[in-house]
Amino acid sequence: MKKLILLPLLLITALACNQNTGNQRTARNSEPAGEETPAQNQKWIQLFNGKDLEGWIIKICKHPLGENYNNTFRVENGMMVTRYDQYEHFNGEYGHIFYKTPYSHYRLRVEYRIVGEQVPGGADWAIKNSGVMFHAQSPGSMGLDQAFPVSIEAQLLGGTGEGERPTGNLCTPGTNVVMNGELVTRHCTNSSSPTFDGEEWVLFELEVHGDSIIHHLVNGDTVLTYSKPQVGGELPERFPLAEGTPLTAGYIALQAESHPFDFRKVELLDLGK
């Protein structure tokens, strides 16, 4: 296995952000999620330009950094998509496409839909399953065979027509959070969102305040809130941050876990540090 690079950019960014949050973070956290001022509306950054994958970095498990194995990530009809038409069989090639810049305090909007059928070989849990990874380690610090970055995951799920399957859930690869005053160490926590069984477009939003409070929103409604994201649980070999280290910043990535997804908008409002 390729060894994890020591002191990834995540660590450097996190240390820098720790020195600057203070009173600004407290003031922001007192404001309700969901609305921006007209001035803020001018500052949305289009992370996906609608034309190509400029500004994004691909890391697929079992393949080197930057290799877009089987053209998994591509742009079609003005959308960033994950596709498996060039796979004969899925064999654990979990993929992530990272935006080049780490962030700390921001709002993120992602419009997605789930299409088609899962590729043969995909796990049962990965049917209609993707995610937005954030506060993630840098893509260059991931090991060759590392399936998922250390990060907080906002899980994007679609219904299967059998029972409830909410979206905008929380999963925690190599991390923990605090919810209702208690440290949460379980891997996934469901949100209160409805189930989306079809191929409709869904608007998912994150509101992230460094290592303080985080909100998940689905179609404008807050469906999950937690705080104090931190390193914890099973970690990659030689990961340089100790358990309990607050995660104040990191990279944003979209997943490819064996089911086709379309993303037509990925935009960010930087709330500053």
pLDDT band for position 272 (50/70/90)? confident
Tokens of 32: 């309700």
> Is there a domain that residue 29 lies in?
no
What's 235's DSSP letter? -
What confidence score (pLDDT) does residue 1 get? 39
What confidence score (pLDDT) does residue 49 get? 97
* Parent domain of 198: 9-19+44-270
pLDDT at residue 63 greater than cutoff 70: yes
- Closest residue by Cα to residue 241 from 95, 144, 141, 148: 141
| pTM of this structure | 0.87
pLDDT at residue 33 greater than cutoff 80: no
Alpha-helix residue ranges (DSSP H) falling in 134-229: none
What confidence score (pLDDT) does residue 16 get? 38
Q: Which residue has the higher pLDDT, 5 or 218?
A: 218
> Is there a domain that residue 37 lies in?
no
pLDDT at residue 222 greater than cutoff 80: yes
Cα 204 to Cα 252: distance, rounded to the nearest angstrom: 14
> Is there a domain that residue 167 lies in?
yes
Mean pLDDT over the full length of the chain: 89
Cα 70 to Cα 88: distance, rounded to the nearest angstrom: 10
Cα 140 to Cα 151: distance, rounded to the nearest angstrom: 14
Cα 264 to Cα 271: distance, rounded to the nearest angstrom: 23
> Is there a domain that residue 39 lies in?
no
Return the SS3 of 222. strand
Tokens of 120: 């043969």
> Is there a domain that residue 166 lies in?
yes
Please report, rounded to a whole number, the percentage of residues in the chain having pLDDT higher than 70: 84
Burial class (CB in 10 A: 0-12, 13-18, 19+), 198: exposed
What confidence score (pLDDT) does residue 26 get? 36
- Lowest average pLDDT, out of 23-27, 45-49, 162-166, goes to 23-27
> Is there a domain that residue 141 lies in?
yes
CATH number, domain with residue 225 = 2.60.120.560
Average pLDDT over every residue of 26-41: 45
What confidence score (pLDDT) does residue 136 get? 98
Task: Name the residue type at position 23.
Answer: N
Q: Which residue has the higher pLDDT, 22 or 263?
A: 263
> Is there a domain that residue 190 lies in?
yes
> Is there a domain that residue 28 lies in?
no
Average pLDDT over every residue of 218-225: 98
Structurally, how many domains does the chain consist of? Answer: 1
Q: Which residue has the higher pLDDT, 2 or 109?
A: 109
- Closest residue by Cα to residue 258 from 74, 133, 120: 120
pLDDT at residue 36 greater than cutoff 90: no
